[in-house]
Amino acid sequence: MSRSLSITFVGGARSVTGANFLMEAEEEGRPARILIDCGLKQGERFCESANSKPFPYDPTSVDALFITHAHADHIGLIPKLVKDGFHSPIYGTAPTLDLMPVMLEDSVGIIAREAKACGAEPPYTTADVARAASMTEPLNYGLTKSIGPFTITLFNAGHILGSALVLVEVFGKRILFTGDLGRVPTLIIPDRDVPPGTIDYLVTESVYGNRTHEPIEESEKALLGALKRVQEKKGTLLIPSFSLERTQIILKTIDRFLTEKLVEPLPVFLDSPLAIRVTEVYKNNARFLRRELQEQLQSGDDPFSFPSLRVTFSKGDAKAVDEAEPPKVVIAGAGMSHGGRIRSHEMHYLPGKENELLLVGYQVPGSLGRRLQDGAKEILINRKKVKVRAKVSKTGGFSAHADRDGLLSFAESVNPKEVFVVLGEMESASFLAQRISGFLDIKATIPQEGEQIEIPLSE
């Protein structure tokens, strides 16, 4: 019987963002194609990145798309895929599919502005987002879906609400894609699964392949310390936060500090329409949260809210942030300060010595957040020079990603025959690959962007 199987690392190879993996199987001349993720490449100028180029495969020929989770670097190009002719179902867990349009509607405007800045057409519109949303079909953890010769099962990846590991079984081979992998323990969703049975190939992320996170307790301490300092200095604490998962972790942590009276109540502004909408999706998908949060919600106590929390949905409401007397806290997106309302707050508050900026997530090279993390004393926001006199600190313990030891221990528990290391900067990917081959004696390679790897099949 003539059969062939391959994986093409279309995007997300040797880079953190832009996840897009194509699996092609052929039997007796009948081809079948599935995609895992279709993400936006972030941190580069729009016109220089893959976002603006045509897909290197024919979107009309793809039989299904499986999405690991709703972060933009995993779903951000789905509307473009649809616009370019993809017409098959899009599978993910129910929360991922609820989050998808919320996240995409938010990024449409940002992408259009980026495209306009370099004289290009926007890659898609809100109509394409709506079309993509109408093509989704939920697939629960543990259930299987057959697409031609492929059988696909999703497992909990423990990264963000609804995040999934994608297990692909085809022609007797079992291939596991991690998407992004969560750390253990997590704070608001259940810890990740290890799929049962033998895995032939593991396609693992490596965002933090060469770094360790501080324990969650250290980040809780850093947040508590920053809150206490701005209370003392009568300053403003800015937290640029990713709207998805990170913001909910911060809200839940502040809620706990207040309940345990570790800090005096102070106004906390959630100045992010996106984060507000995302938090609603969390509450609507309570069965995907940790059991203790489900119980808290059932008892009528919202783990993501407290009396001094003010949500500012519209831009008019956002004025209340500036009018409020310090001390106060402002949580706003975008997480890497590359867009969103945080930029105007940074313009306003970074020059003040009494203020603080706490970075709680990964800052991609080239982003404004990365420049602040690297200690820039002066930055440009909307072409205006802004002096940075506020204390800038970062803490990595709220990360939703496994660190280098977590990634290694996941590879060890999966115990595959071979590993492809993706979704990390080169340094980080090669560090993880070396540790996988050195410590676990498993062959680990780092595919290049666009590389197609044939999977050998036994006759």
Interaction site with Zn ion (CB under 5 A) = 71, 180
| Helix 94-117 with 273-284: angle, nearest 10 deg | 160
The answer to whether 203 and 176 have CB atoms below 8 angstroms apart is yes
**Based on CB atoms, which residue is closest to Zn ion, 71 or 277?**
71
In the bound state with Zn ion, the residue whose beta carbon lies nearer, of 75 and 132, is 75
d(CA 370, CA 349): 18
Q: Which amino acid type is present at position 191?
A: D
In whole angstroms, how close is the CB of 69 to Zn ion at the nearest point?
6
Gap between the Cα atoms of 405 and 122, Å rounded: 40
Instruction: Give the Cα separation of 338 and 113 in Å (integer).
Output: 12
Between 100 and 442, CB nearer to Zn ion: 100
Instruction: Report in angstroms the alpha-carbon separations of 373 from 44, 236, 239, 342.
Output: 18, 18, 13, 15
**Dihedral in degrees, nearest 10, Cα atoms 365, 97, 116, 313:** -90
Where residue 440 falls (left for φ over 0; alpha for ψ -120 to 50; beta otherwise) is alpha
Nearer to Zn ion, 12 or 122 (CB): 12
Nearer to Zn ion, 147 or 429 (CB): 429
What are the residues whose beta carbons fall under 8 Å from the beta carbon of 203, sequence distance 6 or more? 7, 21, 36, 175, 176, 177, 178, 419, 420, 422
The pair of structure tokens assigned to 158 is: 């423990």
- Of residues 115 and 161, the one with the C-beta less far from Zn ion: 161
Minimum separation from the CB atom of position 302 to Zn ion (A): 25
Phi, psi of 332 (to 5 degrees): -150, 155
In the complex, the smallest distance separating the C-beta of residue 186 from Zn ion, rounded to whole angstroms, is 13
In the complex with Zn ion, the residue whose CB is nearer, 100 or 227, is: 100
For residue 437, the minimal CB distance to Zn ion (Å) is: 26
CB of 361 to Zn ion, least distance (A): 10
Tell me the closest approach of the beta carbon of residue 79 to Zn ion, in angstroms: 18
Contact of 435 with 408, CB cutoff 8 Å: yes
CB of 177 to Zn ion, least distance (A): 13
Taking the complex as a whole, how short is the minimal distance between the CB of residue 54 and Zn ion, in angstroms? 25
Closest CA to 110 of 100, 122, 118, 101: 122
Q: Which is nearer to Zn ion, 71 or 338 (CB)?
A: 71
CA gap 129, 115 in Å, rounded: 17
Cβ distance to Zn ion smaller for residue 12 or 340: 12
In the DSSP assignment, the letter for residue 55 is P
Minimal distance in Å, beta carbon 307 to Zn ion?
A: 32
